[in-house]
Structure 1
Amino acid sequence: MKVIEIIHPGGPEVLQLTERPVPRPGPGEVLIQIKAAGVNRPDVVQRQGLYPPPPGAPDIPGLEVAGTITAVGPGVSQWQRGDAVCALVTGGGYAEYCVAVTDLCLPIPKGLDFVQAAAIPETFFTVWHNVFERGQLHRGERFLVHGGAGGIGTTAIQLARALRQAEIYTTCGTSEKCRFCETLGARAAICYRREDFAARIAELTAGRGVDLILDIIGTPYLPRNLRSLAEDGRLVIIAVQGGPKGEINLLPVFLKRLTITGSTLRPRPPEVKAAIARQLHRHVWPLLESGQVRPIIHKVLPLAQAAEAHRLLEEGEVIGKIVLIP
């Protein structure tokens, strides 16, 4: 089968198309013939040599796929050959075939094609866990999403609007991205290149601040995030694109009784991710099937152009997701 290998840590050019044997599913696993695979920022960080696969995971990048089951492993009864699924995987998505844990496979939502389905698992699992489980977003709360035009951001805006009727704010790098996020349901989108988001949040909320922040930047944003939070506010950090280390003033944490937490999904045990899958199927699949929520696709590229997909992602002009097709 054709796969994309990372020949050594480096820029997008280290992604090379090569051939490998088709994997075999083990107990509790299925083999998926991939029709489409999502591209995510963790793939970029892995390519750079900064995010190694967890033990036992394939070294091939790619954390979400959609396709058709072609083989089932021992003990598998809930899926059969020919079933169309999307799946969260720990690696191996940039390929023609991929093994997936059965409990992390979900039926493709009615009305969606393989490309749209491939853009769902990584971002929707991440948003559900961090916004609704760890972040405990409640109905009508004020919610700030950093990087609103990305895969995580576009998903978080839509789900927060549909499930909690939240008052949503977001930060973006361009006016075009800001306008797009407002069409998705953000009350206001702040261009961080032109405005101090903390000052703007204070203005937009009449000084009250927001109840929850979903952050992908890390320490460069931490002081302003703490200023932007209301009393008893929660900050959930899921990436550190701006760096993991820095100094902050902890007094706002004490004075406003703030909660700071974070998570990373890839190394979590399958049973934890399976619990998220069940919640998504129950609460989010009906929204996808009704059209209230949709995966945002920026561009579809052939698998052989994985390097170009990474270049586009790193240039920062992508709205939504890039998807590869074998």
Structure 2
Amino acid sequence: MSAIPETMPDIMTAIDPAAPGGPEVLVPVIRPIPVPGAGEVLIRVAAAGVNRPDVLQRKGLYPMPPGAPSILGLELAGTVVALGEGVEPEMLGQPVCALVGGGAYADFAVAPVGTCLPVPPALSMVEAAAIPETLFTVWTNVFERGYASEGDTVLVHGGTSGIGTMAIALGTIFGLTVIVTAGSDEKCAAAMALGAAHAINYNTRDFVAEVKAFTGGAGCAVVLDMVGGDYVPRNLQCLADDGRHVSIAVQGGMMATIPIFEVMRRRLTLTGSTLRPRDLDFKSMVADELARNVWPHVEAGRLKPVIDKTFPLAEAGAAHARMEAGDHVGKIVLTMGGIL
């Protein structure tokens, strides 16, 4: 085990709710600074991304994986201030962003070195903190499970969410035509401004008919779905033959009824994944892939997350309320200013 340097405090401010509840349970508390174990680094957190699983965990609806800290937060950016056993000494003092199993809503957090990526000069710490969760999710589901490749058309629901805006950005870089859905004309305009090829207001238009019209009846190669429920059979109608349907959330329902013969006749693939429960080896492998394939675009300033709004750590409840209201475009980020 690594020791915390003597020059550092031994306590920190964190958001670690004692019981499930509304945004009001997210109040700053004092916790011991965690100690990095073998293969881990301790990061002085500058910023942490806010994600939908954080909201579900706060409500008591998203069980933590075994061993995960109860402090909220799945992604962060900051500076490495202590090393666990086996970590290269060159990591000390490095600015990094990281995917973590929890603990990001705090002044300090532990991260596996395998899920850390360097923060280049092209990114602010706020931008860096907004990247890992959505980038890991979109990369593994659109490009790996969905096999999207240059020239493909992809339908993404929730086009102005953190996931949606990242899908648009990656699609632009890798030659995809990205169609999105969103809940208002204003959000559709925002998605188009970010690079979506077509944006559909799902409250006023039938997205199945719109996709068929936009693709000349051909349909999409991939659908990235975070709704579930009765969206699934409608999504299948949007797919081209040999298309892939990738589920990443079930905000609209956990059960769906689908026409199996259509799946057979048109050779459709239904797949999906969840990121947080995956083991460290998998997440480290994804980080390596991102370092090779995506990070050069980040370093060049070609890939940046869309930032909706930042809140200080003490206002984490307000950040969650904004996410639940659904008015945001892009990522909501917490910033650490040292409440101690």
TM value normalised by structure 2:
0.93
Partner of 1:319: 329
Q: What residue number does 2:142 align with?
A: 131
> Retained in 2: the 8 A contact 1:39–1:323?
yes
Alignment RMSD: 1.1
CA-CA distance at 1:81 after TM superposition:
2.2
2:279 to 262, 269, 277: 269
The answer as to 2:51 corresponding to 1:48 is: no
Partner amino acid for 1:121? P
Matches of 2:52 and 2:90, distance apart in 1: 30
Give the partner amino acid of 1:221: Y
Residues 65-124 of structure 1: CA distance to partner in whole angstroms, max 9, x if unpaired?
000111001111164321111010000001000000011111003311111100011110
Match of 2:50 in 1: 39
The alpha carbon displacement at 1:197 in A equals 0.5
Q: How does 1:1-326 map to 2 (within 5 A)?
A: 1-77=12-88, 79-163=90-174, 165-326=175-336
Find the aligned partners of 2:267 and 2:252 in 1 and give their Cα distance: 25
- Three-state SS of the structure 1 residue aligned to 2:62 is coil
Q: Which runs of 5+ in 2 are unaligned?
A: 1-11
What do residues 32-61 of structure 1 show as CA deviations (whole Å, max 9, x unaligned)?
000000000010111111111100110111
Q: Distance in 2 between matches of 1:79 and 1:194?
A: 54
Q: How many residues align?
A: 325
| 1:130 to 1:79, Cα distance in 2 relative to 1, 3 A | farther
The separation in 2 between residues aligned to 1:65 and 1:123, in whole angstroms, is: 12
Please state whether the residue corresponding to 2:35 is helix, strand or coil.
Answer: coil
Q: Which whole-Å CA distance do the structure 2 matches of 1:89 and 1:188 have between them?
A: 34
What letter is aligned with 1:55?
A: P
**Per-residue deviation, 1:291:** 2.4
> Contact 2:123 / 2:304 at 8 angstroms: preserved in 1?
no
Amino acid at match of 1:195: R
Q: C-alpha separation between the residues in 1 aligned to 2:272 and 2:17?
A: 28
| Residues 282-320 of structure 1: CA deviation (Å, up to 9, x unaligned) | 111121222222111000100011111111001111100
Write the letter of the residue equivalent to 2:186: E
Q: 3-state DSSP class of the match of 2:230?
A: helix
Gaps of at least 5 residues in structure 1 are none
SS of the counterpart of 1:219? coil
3-state SS of 1:91 partner? coil
One-letter code aligned to 2:71: I
CA distance in 2, matches of 1:201, 1:78: 52
In structure 2, give the amino acid aligned to 1:307: G
Deviates more, 1:103-112 or 1:234-243: 103-112
Q: Which amino acid aligns with 2:69?
A: P
Asked if 2 retains the 8 angstrom alpha-carbon contact of 1:170 and 1:190, the reply is yes
TM-score, L = length of structure 1: 0.97
The residue identity in structure 2 corresponding to 1:44 is V
